[in-house]
Structure 1
Amino acid sequence: MSSRAHLLNDRTAEHYRRSLTDGVGRVADRLARTERPFTGVTPAELAPAVSSIDLDQPLQDPGAALDELEDVYLRDAVYFHHPRYLAHLNCPVAIPAVLGEAVLAAVNSSLDTWDQSAGGTLIERRLIDWTAGRIGLGKAADGIFTSGGTQSNLQALLLAREEACRLVRKNSETAQPTSAILPRLRVLASECGHFSVEKAARLLGLGPEAVIPVPCDRDRRMRASALEQELARCAEEDLVVMAVVVTAGTTDFGSIDPLPQVAALCEAAGVWMHVDAAYGCGLLVSPRRGHLLAGIERADSVTVDYHKSFFQPVSSSAVLVRDRSTLRHVTYHADYLNPARSVAERIPNQVDKSIQTTRRFDALKLWMTLRVMGADTVGELFDEVVDRAADAWRLLDADPRYEVVTEPQLSTLVFRYVPEDAAGIPDSLVDKANLHAREALFASGDAVVAGTVVDGRHHLKFTLLNPETTLDDIAVVLDLLAGHAESFLAPARRA
């Protein structure tokens, strides 16, 4: 086969069809035969198989490459579609979205300029308008698709930083360079918020003291009174709060900060309000729980991750802003790409709004999902997993083997195995038992759960995003975890 025969074009369309049909068949067969979310393979077991492959000796045949892929990937992949995958914010994916993924990969549009994407540009813009409408940001809203919540949060805080510096200069009697303003900037964020806020602050040239954690209540929601105190303290110390970051669905607890109260405080202080709704954005299409996002419409910027609660393949995220003019802070013109004259000519170049240049047409996946399934169907699926989490909380709360941290608003549960005679066992040993239980379960491949630390103690975590997960699945996993924990503690009991 000639080298050109591998390139997708009019002459190789049939080769493309056969190759993808074979690949789809392999994946479909693997999905149909998957009985556990994971095989339990270890890095030491799998690494030699990958390392032994000579990448300078191609197989030439797609079928042979797929055979090899079975051994180094498909057989041992972690399958999120399995009902006993309960670990992270990874969702089973909607078939229309997978279809969209296949189309966008083949056409390979780049969403930076109109002359590379045409209809793709308009589809992405339409979806941004649709999402902004669901949030309620108003007619001046805009946004851009991103690779994920971390990038969305970074871009939102970049815009907030530039707006804060602009206002400082506007209100100052003397010209101040950005370098003189940056040390005064602060970000107030929930202590239960995402680590990407601190990462963004570092990338934006702010010091480690720039992000101030705001205490949460027992339900792991930001305390509005504590935020009010921090805003007042910063004002007294001549510090500039460039943004308040609130969370609509924390990664660990699924908790939603008090958005209306925070919005009122931000408006009174003239501070940018960013809502990280990477997880909770599924409520935008929920037929029964949309009210939980009341107040989000008052935000200056919002992060949404469709690849969490809209059942989209990674990557599919967006950052939205109330005032489209703030996106100018990421606009740069290159003569070869998006010259300044294109603005006057009203050419819609998406790179004018993005911190990326080359960018995938990820919006197509959401477009296909909405056009085939509809928003209500997506929302019903998300409601199902939230319902399941509520049932699981009641199950855990009644189980004497476990302590559950808080009743969930969304679909995560953080809990801890506690032995029946815990009074005679040090907390450090109980910590190790919980760690062991998670690791042993993962090694068995029977189920996958996550872990986290709460108040200095190791806990286990369920993240439910699969409507196929039943309460029976959860009960089985709880029994497995308890069994692993007990086997770990058995020697201590005998000692």
Structure 2
Amino acid sequence: MKNEFQQWFLNSSEESQQLFMDLMVRTVKLLIEETNRATNPYSGAIRKDIEARVKEITNITTGGQKTEAVLTEIQKTVVRNSLWISNPAAMAHLHCPPLLPAIAAEVLISTLNQSMDSWDQSPSATYVEEEVLQYFIKKIGFTEHADGVFTSGGTQSNYMGLLLARNQACQRHFSINVQEQGLPSDAGRLRILCSEHAHFTVQQSAAQLGLGIQSVVTIKTNEKNQICLKDAQQKLAELHAQGLLPFMIVATAGTTDFGSIDNLTEIAMLAHDYQLWLHVDAAYGGALLFSQQYRDLLHDLSLADSITIDFHKLYYQSISCGAFFVRDRKSFRHIAYHAEYLNPEEDRKDGIINLVEKSVQTTKRFDALKVLMTFKLIGTEVFGNMIDSTIQLAKNTAELFQRSSQFEVLNEPVINAVLFRYLPDRHAEDHLFVDEINLELQRYFYQSGELIMAKTRQNGKVFLKFTMLNPLNTLRNMEVQIENMKKIGEIITKKKGERSNEYSVHF
């Protein structure tokens, strides 16, 4: 007797395989149609319209709908009004265009649906993750004592760095096993140091780990937007004088706004002298491991106690995909927990690997397959050239801005981030007016759908930002974009000067 549910799951039946093939082919055709149709990275639709359209198509019924009708709704409402991140004009955030091998791997990952917490749920996938991690461990320069685990991204990886460091500090300073006994009463004395440009997840993680945002002490940066070693030493002396317990320093290899990379050698020496856990947030800059020209910027990365690397940033992997590494695998004992149904202790005695012992997640995706397929199909040389080309483009774009009196450039690109602002004629000294013009400029281009750039604040001023991750972008494209910004900037300035709101954009 035929099972009425059979066609909805992939199996050996003809109905199942036909539906699977039909859905895959139609979805691919849909995406290709939109790729050919979308000349801009965004449709220009306003928020209220998108919200209304989405409400129209979320009419879930008791009976199923026709495939063609459903996919047409998804295409016209969801896909068409999504940010087309593979367009070179999408340059706002650390949001990368995914490589085709990664997209293909996603189909395998979703179809196999391996759960990476225990070996019996992911027999081959467990070993793929372990081998990919070992490859990166060697690339980092760690020894055979190191280990790692795939994560959902930088937030989770940074959290794990603080978690392991906190638990080790409590063991060392208070002889407390936090896993069993909870935080000691004196945990409020613990302090974490990081750059003023470090990612917000340092403070976020400290708050979630019961140490409070007040436990994070920010260090001033130098003219290269790196941790100022002198200020770090001064802060450490002050903390010790106050009877506080600094136990960790977070260095950044690729800050969100500037792409700056802290001097890892200096910070590693400081961490050694003060017995601090050194965590390096290389979520962004970790891809320089494969750079032909800029690999030296990660010199002494292997001196870190723990490292964050995001593959869904400059590694061009689809979201989500990240990894967390430790120099000493014994560090994972601070989060290990044995559940009889999942990873009983006898499994370890039998040599069985259960990845849940190294993770704060239980169910976890088989993201290592994306990285493996990407490198096997593309190779490390071409991949490294991709990275170098985007960095060179960012440097060349900064030079284009600098040649124009209508723009101010805040940074010399280290990786591929450029911070700049438009300077209207006759109003350049009126900072509030300039801020308004730049905010309006960013909104105008987003609403037009032509150009997606980010906005940020530095030294109290509004700056715009290009995060130039796309290897398909060109200097000619950037010349055109800059000329367009000049023209629109002049129009907005004139209208603002006339106290007109004609060019205001509302989302």
User: Is 2:10 the partner of 1:8?
Assistant: yes
Q: Is residue 186–residue 241 contact of structure 1 (8 Å, CA) maintained in 2?
A: yes
2:40 aligns with one of 36, 40, 47: 36
Q: Is residue 94–residue 311 contact of structure 1 (8 Å, CA) maintained in 2?
A: yes
Q: Is residue 109–residue 120 contact of structure 1 (8 Å, CA) maintained in 2?
A: yes
Deviation of 1:329 after TM superposition, in Å, equals 1.4
Deviation of 1:56 after TM superposition, in Å, equals 2.9
Write out per-residue CA displacement over residues 22-47 of structure 1, whole angstroms, 9 at most, x where no aligned residue.
Answer: 11121122112221111111110111
Q: Distance in 2 between matches of 1:58 and 1:68?
A: 17
User: Is 2:430 the partner of 1:440?
Assistant: no
1:52 aligns with one of 56, 61, 66: 56
Q: Is residue 170–residue 184 contact of structure 2 (8 Å, CA) maintained in 1?
A: no
Q: Distance in 2 between matches of 1:421 and 1:2?
A: 73
User: Is 2:119 the partner of 1:114?
Assistant: yes
1:225 aligns with one of 220, 227, 230: 230
Could you say which residue in structure 2 is the equivalent of 1:490? 494
1:346 aligns with one of 347, 351, 365: 351
Could you list the runs of 5+ residues in structure 2 that have no partner in the other structure?
500-507
Write out per-residue CA displacement over residues 414-472 of structure 1, whole angstroms, 9 at most, x where no aligned residue.
Answer: 0111112235x621111010000000000000110111000011110000000111112
User: Is 2:352 the partner of 1:374?
Assistant: no
1:401 aligns with one of 403, 406, 412: 406
Amino acid at match of 1:46: I
Could you say which residue in structure 2 is the equivalent of 1:411? 416
1:204 aligns with one of 189, 209, 212: 209
Q: Distance in 2 between matches of 1:313 and 1:170?
A: 42
Q: Distance in 2 between matches of 1:177 and 1:389?
A: 47
Mean alpha-carbon deviation: is it higher for 196-205 or for 10-19? Answer: 10-19
Q: Is residue 446–residue 453 contact of structure 2 (8 Å, CA) maintained in 1?
A: yes
SS at match of 1:469: coil
Could you say which residue in structure 1 is the equivalent of 2:183? 178
Q: Distance in 1 between matches of 2:329 and 2:167?
A: 14
Q: Distance in 2 between matches of 1:84 and 1:492?
A: 26
Could you say which residue in structure 1 is the equivalent of 2:108? 103
Could you say which residue in structure 1 is the equivalent of 2:361? 356
Mean alpha-carbon deviation: is it higher for 161-170 or for 184-193? Answer: 161-170
Q: Distance in 1 between matches of 2:301 and 2:392?
A: 22
Q: Distance in 1 between matches of 2:161 and 2:92?
A: 28
Write out per-residue CA displacement over residues 237-278 of structure 1, whole angstroms, 9 at most, x where no aligned residue.
Answer: 221222101100001000001111000000111100000000
Q: Distance in 2 between matches of 1:486 and 1:288?
A: 39
Q: Is residue 427–residue 433 contact of structure 2 (8 Å, CA) maintained in 1?
A: no
Q: Is residue 165–residue 181 contact of structure 1 (8 Å, CA) maintained in 2?
A: no
SS at match of 2:214: coil
Q: Distance in 2 between matches of 1:185 and 1:22?
A: 56
Mean alpha-carbon deviation: is it higher for 2-11 or for 189-198? Answer: 2-11
Deviation of 1:189 after TM superposition, in Å, equals 0.7
Q: Is residue 218–residue 406 contact of structure 1 (8 Å, CA) maintained in 2?
A: no
2:268 aligns with one of 263, 267, 275: 263
Write out aligned runs for 1:116-265 (5 A). Answer: 116-170=121-175, 178-265=183-270
Q: Is residue 185–residue 210 contact of structure 1 (8 Å, CA) maintained in 2?
A: yes
Q: Percent identity of the aligned residues?
A: 35
2:29 aligns with one of 25, 28, 35: 25
Q: Is residue 137–residue 299 contact of structure 1 (8 Å, CA) maintained in 2?
A: no
Amino acid at match of 2:320: S
User: Is 2:89 the partner of 1:87?
Assistant: no
Q: Is residue 97–residue 312 contact of structure 1 (8 Å, CA) maintained in 2?
A: yes
Q: Is residue 285–residue 415 contact of structure 2 (8 Å, CA) maintained in 1?
A: yes
Q: Distance in 2 between matches of 1:147 and 1:483?
A: 41
Q: Distance in 2 between matches of 1:379 and 1:159?
A: 32
TM-score by length of 1: 0.96
Mean alpha-carbon deviation: is it higher for 225-234 or for 147-156? Answer: 225-234
Q: Is residue 87–residue 448 contact of structure 1 (8 Å, CA) maintained in 2?
A: yes
Mean alpha-carbon deviation: is it higher for 134-143 or for 112-121? Answer: 134-143
Name the count of aligned residue pairs. Answer: 490
Q: Distance in 2 between matches of 1:120 and 1:232?
A: 48
Amino acid at match of 1:162: N
Deviation of 1:59 after TM superposition, in Å, equals 4.2
Q: Distance in 2 between matches of 1:103 and 1:301?
A: 30
Q: Is residue 151–residue 322 contact of structure 2 (8 Å, CA) maintained in 1?
A: yes
SS at match of 2:163: helix
Q: Distance in 2 between matches of 1:480 and 1:451?
A: 18
Relative distance call for 1:186 and 1:399 in structure 2 (3 A) is same
Could you say which residue in structure 2 is the equivalent of 1:326? 331
Q: Distance in 2 between matches of 1:439 and 1:363?
A: 37
Mean alpha-carbon deviation: is it higher for 475-484 or for 210-219? Answer: 475-484
Q: Is residue 407–residue 420 contact of structure 2 (8 Å, CA) maintained in 1?
A: yes
Write out per-residue CA displacement over residues 164-215 of structure 1, whole angstroms, 9 at most, x where no aligned residue.
Answer: 11111359xxxx9733232011110110111111110001001221111110
Could you say which residue in structure 2 is the equivalent of 1:66? 71
1:480 aligns with one of 460, 484, 490: 484
SS at match of 1:448: coil
Relative distance call for 1:48 and 1:459 in structure 2 (3 A) is same
Mean alpha-carbon deviation: is it higher for 21-30 or for 453-462? Answer: 21-30
Q: Distance in 2 between matches of 1:35 and 1:260?
A: 45
Amino acid at match of 1:439: R
Deviation of 1:482 after TM superposition, in Å, equals 2.7
Amino acid at match of 1:363: A
Q: Is residue 54–residue 78 contact of structure 2 (8 Å, CA) maintained in 1?
A: no
Amino acid at match of 1:292: L
